Structure formats: structure tokens, C-alpha cells
Amino acid sequence: MKRRELLAGAAALGTGAALGIGPGATRAQQAPRLAAQQAARVAVGVDDIRTVDPHFSIGVGEQPINSAVYEGLARFPDGLITGENLQPSLAERWESSPDRKTWTFHLRRGVEWHHGNGPFTSADVVFSLDRVRGREAGSPFRNTLADVESVRAVDAHTVEVKLKNADAGFPGLLVNYAAGYLVCKKAIESGVDLRTRPIGTGPFRALTYRPRESFTLERNPNYWGGRPALDQIVVQFMSDASTRELALRGGELHAIEIAARQDAVDRMRRARFHVDLTAPANMFTVHFNTSMQPFGDIRVRRALSHATNRDELLAFLGRDVSQPEFSPLPTGYTGHTTDVARYEFNLDRARALLAEAGLSGGVTLNTPVSNNAIYLPPMQVIQEQWKKVGVNLELRVVDHPTYHRLIRENVAPVVIYGAYRYPLTGRLYFDQFYHSAAIIGRPTAITNFSHFTGADAEIEAARFETDAERQKQLWATVQKKIMEQAMAIPLFTRAYAMARSTKLDMGHEQKSWSFYTFTHRSRILA
């Protein structure tokens, strides 16, 4: 095998560099005072968790738990999601064959699973990757590893992964995120239920779970990366935004999830809290269900595209927290293009197209919508906009889990959906939202709510295209076809928003993730 190292050793931050200590500083000036109680109390906007089994967990409120407990072979830089500058984690290094179809990972030695579950070995890696990609488990991240042909333990600390097709970026799928999280073979086979009792190798381990109240993590005393500064992290479940804000203001919490709206951001800043706006974040799109009338008629789809005013939506959300989108692949993703059909806001054109489609007298549509604060308000704005061209959009408001169930039962003529997909390319985005295999109602359904079938050839060709420019061209063609057919209305990308006390030092800049990610460097200042 021709060795090809894909990463340089990450430069270790010395204590002085991490704290910003100058050469002439005294010891008293160098070290900030720490609080006597090193317990971080944070609140997420959910009533409870569904599961913290990382191979099935998709809830926003579960993310701060999983990211503190579990690790992958590689890791993102702290606080940042990026396909570049990956760092070693449970693998100290890796290499590929010249054809990029065989990857060898050399594992870190001396790593222990939480709660006395023994050493981390290659058997855990094989078990974890096979668990994610196996159809019997039904992981929502299965497609991420669809190109894996086999996973083999060469020895206790070496793993070989063979791919069906060349993939120069394969290590980017095995990071501390979704399909890349590694689980303990021994714990699962002995009957541990990871849904509420996670067993990982990370800096924090599970202590107590109180349904509909909180999940408490404690310091992992055997963490390979160094002794965590925090004794505990208490993740409290608070679905009400006002309750979270009052608790932060009252000093009961150190950090909260806040609404990604300008008024909430401005209010927290005026109160002198740190506000962190992070990306990549969800791009929100309205999908037209072409299996239901009147959306089988392209004139109706184009009419409502013209009737949608993004500027009003951005003014409602705020310019700090949102940016307009015009393509079905979000801005910043590899393959994104702006060279697509655009349907500028034009009510007269919208009315004319509806008249051509025989709907000059108007039409009433009934569709479910989530009561979630990031879903309902934009749909209410769109409801008022479409009313101006005679389209009465009746919104049936349901709780968020019910909404996700209903839109997958193909009962919604209009679906608003917010998502980002790592890696930040066209691959998973198009596989999940615009390939015919992903159409709602099919055995292989994922999130193709529009029932679009017009770009399968390009989506499939791009999956394993090794020429980067050719791959981008294929993804550009997919975007053009989707927008030419007006299958969806890309609306905006909305940043994640969170606020924290000045006493909470994360130990890194929080540039990504939907909530704060705690590491062994995170701490509470006096």
C-alpha cells in the first residue's frame, strides 16, 4: 500500500497560548479565577430526549449530550464543522491505497470505555460501522456509509475499510458526528440500552437521566485527552423560550438555546450575554408535493414561487440570523450554483399563472405545520403572502414529532423543511431530497417530499465522480433541473442561535453546531 498521510499533526495548544498569557504577565495575571462549583447548567428547547444512541439520535436537544460522550476516529476542530483540517481522535493517523478505495486506520491505545466497559479496540470500530450501515438496525445515517464494502480488524489497533468506489474524502465521514460516532460492542451485547444510558470514550459520561427534566453528565476521570475542568454538565429540558431566558437572566443557567430571531439576539446582547450565531445551519425550503393536486401543474408551482417574498421573511427573522437562498443546494456547499431559474417576487405574474391553470377563482389547501418556533412563523408569513393571489393555505398546527410523522405519510401538499447535511456537498442533499429512491411512500423513502424524479442520472453519476470539476458540473445540472421545474422554493438559511453567561468559558470559539459543544477545556469562571 502506498502511504498517503492526509493530515499533519495538530499543533497542541500550550496552557499559556490557550489562556492568552503574555511573556511579562505575573502568575496572578496569567490564570483567571475559577468558580468553586464546576457544574455547567444549560437548557435546550425540548421537552425531553427521544434517544441518545448516537446511531439513531437526530434531536437538537440530544446533540450536547452525544458530543460530550461519544467520539469518532477523526474529529472536527473544536466548535467547528468543516470537511477540512480534520484532527486525530480515536484514530491517531490513517492512510489510503493509491486508488483511494482501501483505508487503514491506526487506533489510539490506552482509551477506556465509560463505566468500566473495558478498552477501546478495533472490534468496536468494526461493530460500530457495521451497525450503522446494516439494514437490520435501520440507522437514519445508513446512506452515509453506503459505499463501504467491508470493515476488517487487522489487529487490535488497526482497522481496514474497503470501499466500492474511490473516495478521497472518506475520513470526513468518520468524524465525531452522526454515522462517525463509535459505540461500545461489549456494552451493547451485554444489554446496555444506549437510548438513555450512553457509553462512550469522551470527556464526560452519563450520570443520571430524569425524563422530561434533565440529563446529567459527570467528568470522565480516565479521559485520554486530559482531565476535564468541569465536574458536571446538567442539560435541562425547557421547551419554552421565555422560561429559558428568565433562568439565564436569574443565574440559574449558564447557557441556553435562543430563537434565531433578531429581537431575541438583540435582547440578549443588551443584557450583556455572549450570543453565538453558528453555521452551517438549516436551509429552509418549501417543497411542493407533486403527487397531490394542484401541484402536478408546473404553472401553479411557478405561481406560488413568484408569490413568495423572501425579503419579508428576512425582515421578520433578522439580517444577523438569516440569508436568502435561491438554489436547492445551500450557499457554501461544494457544488452550489446561483445559475438557476429564479422566480422573483411578482404578484401579477403569480395571478396570471394561476389563471392559466384554471385557478383564477382561488384555491384552498390544508397542510400540517409544526408548532416549533422555527417552523410555524415562516409558514404564517407565507400563508399571508399566498393569500394575496387567492391561495388560502389552511395550516393545521401540530407538535413537532407529529409533523415529522405526517409529512412522511404523504398527507401534506406543502412541506416546509429545514436541514443541513454533512459533508457539505451535493451528495447527501440530493440523495435525500431529490433522488427518486428517497420519495416519500417508497420503501427507500427519506425526505423527497416533492416526488421529484428528473435528475437521477446526474445525482448517481456525481456520487462517485473523482474529477472534482465534473462532479460540480453534475450537481449544478441537478440544481438547474429542480428549479426549472419549480419543485421547491429555497427560502433562507437560518443560523443557530445560543446565548451564554460571561462566566462560561467554552475553551474554544463556537462557530458551528446547534448548541454548545463541551470539551475537557470548558470551565466556569468565578
Distances in Å between the alpha carbon of 295 and those of 75, 247, 329?
43, 46, 22
Closest by CA to 497, choosing from 41, 40, 45, 39, is 45
Domains within the chain, CATH numbers bracketed: 33-236+501-524 (3.40.190.10), 279-495 (3.10.105.10)
Q: Identity (one letter) of the amino acid at 30?
A: Q
Per DSSP, what are the bridge partners of residue 285? 417, 490
End-to-end CA distance of the chain: 53
Could you give the CA distance from residue 453 to residue 290 in angstroms, rounded to a whole number? 11
- Asked if 511 contacts 278 with a C-beta cutoff of 8 angstroms, the reply is yes
Distances in Å between the alpha carbon of 55 and those of 70, 133, 214?
11, 10, 21
Q: What is the 3-state secondary structure (H, E, C) of 345-405?
A: CCHHHHHHHHHHCCCCCCEEEEEEEECCCCCHHHHHHHHHHHHCCCEEEEEEEECHHHHHH
Q: What SS3 state is found at 277?
A: strand
What is this structure's pTM? Answer: 0.82
Per-residue pLDDT of the chain in tens (526 residues, 90 and over written 9): 433 333 333 333 333 333 333 334 444 456 789 999 999 999 999 999 999 999 999 888 999 999 999 999 999 999 999 888 899 999 999 999 999 999 999 999 999 999 999 999 999 999 999 999 997 778 888 888 989 999 999 999 999 999 999 998 899 999 999 999 999 999 999 999 999 999 999 999 999 999 999 999 999 999 999 999 999 999 999 999 999 999 999 999 999 999 898 999 999 999 999 999 999 999 999 999 999 999 999 999 999 999 999 999 999 999 899 999 999 999 999 999 999 999 999 999 999 999 999 999 999 999 999 998 889 999 999 999 999 999 999 999 999 889 999 999 999 999 999 998 888 999 889 999 999 999 999 988 889 999 999 999 999 999 888 788 999 999 999 999 999 999 999 999 999 999 999 999 999 999 999 999 999 999 999 9
Phi/psi region, residue 429 (left: phi>0; alpha: psi -120 to 50; beta: rest), is alpha
Could you give the CA distance from residue 424 to residue 422 in angstroms, rounded to a whole number? 5
* Sequence-ordered alpha helix ranges (H) in 450-506: 456-463, 468-484
- Asked if 114 contacts 220 with a C-beta cutoff of 8 angstroms, the reply is yes
